[in-house]
Amino acid sequence: MLEHWEQELPVKGIQKITPVSGGDVNDAYRIETDGEPCFLLVQKGRAEDFYAAEIAGLKAMLEAGITAPKVLGNGQIEGDAFLLLEYLDEGAGSQWDLGHMVAKMHLEHQADDQFGFHLPHEGGDISFDNAWTDSWRKLFINERMDQLRDRIAAQGLWDDNDLQTYDKVRKIMTDNLKAHESEPSLLHGDLWAGNYMFLSDGSPALFDPSPLYGDREFDLGATTVFGGFGKDFYDAYEETYPLSEDAWVRIRFYKLYLLMVHLMKFGSVYSSSVGHTMQDILES
């Protein structure tokens, strides 16, 4: 396959294509060329528009002054979608700089005060339509959390007791978000430690976005799930764009969201984490 792609990709002077780590959704490759290397993502069996939202998210971040890889090409070859990106050389950097950059991204607000995005979220296992709305609560609970609940139940991963617990958690989230004034910030949408890096010059960069305009606490919830974000990150964020006093109550809602995504994708290995997080919300 790789030899054939060498003939079809919009890159000149390809010398070598090497598989690299690219997460659980895409196949990923480093392309060595006569000039600068490239980063190639491949999604088997999908049309080229599978990457449309990611491309739009990278563009939005770059326009907001956020460091991210530039898009070099996008298309489809023999039924497989591809996304060709600038290759970023990895180095070491500061959590403080990362926190400042994420806050700067969140200071970019949707001009019409709407939540959502002009393109749907396309994941390997689930999609969300991101339809524009003036209610963050409805977008998050009705269009994200309830869809996840239905998928998890359909896969036999929740029983009636789990569904009843979710209903109690849902009421807490609904009541809290009704009283909370959300602003539609530009969000990465999947801000876990695997989606940022430090470049060779020490500066932070973001990649692999699942973009939308939403409450900024949504991104911060993702940072709490798998580690990789230190005290300096949160301190720098607070200095740049202070959170409300009760923000960390809601951040647990968004931690639950990401854990439910992983429960749906990877099965019962995440059941305990989801259950503990729901109990944490109920007991708060």
Which residues are designated catalytic?
A: 190
Among 224, 186, 191, residue whose Cα is nearest residue 208: 191
Edge-to-edge strand order for the sheet containing 38-43? 14-20, 27-33, 38-43, 80-86, 71-77
DSSP letter, residue 144: I
CA distance 36 to 86: 8
Identify any residues that bridge with 205 across adjacent strands, giving them in sequence order. 197
Identify any residues that bridge with 273 across adjacent strands, giving them in sequence order. none
Q: Which two tokens stand for residue 253?
A: 């809602």
Q: Are 270 and 183 in contact (CB under 8 A)?
A: no
Among 153, 175, 180, residue whose Cα is nearest residue 164: 153
- Lookup result for tokens 């609940």: 149
CA distance 256 to 76: 35
Give, in degrees to the nearest 5, the angle at Cα 104 between 133 and 233.
110
Q: Which two tokens stand for residue 24?
A: 């659980």
Q: Which two tokens stand for residue 14?
A: 């390809």
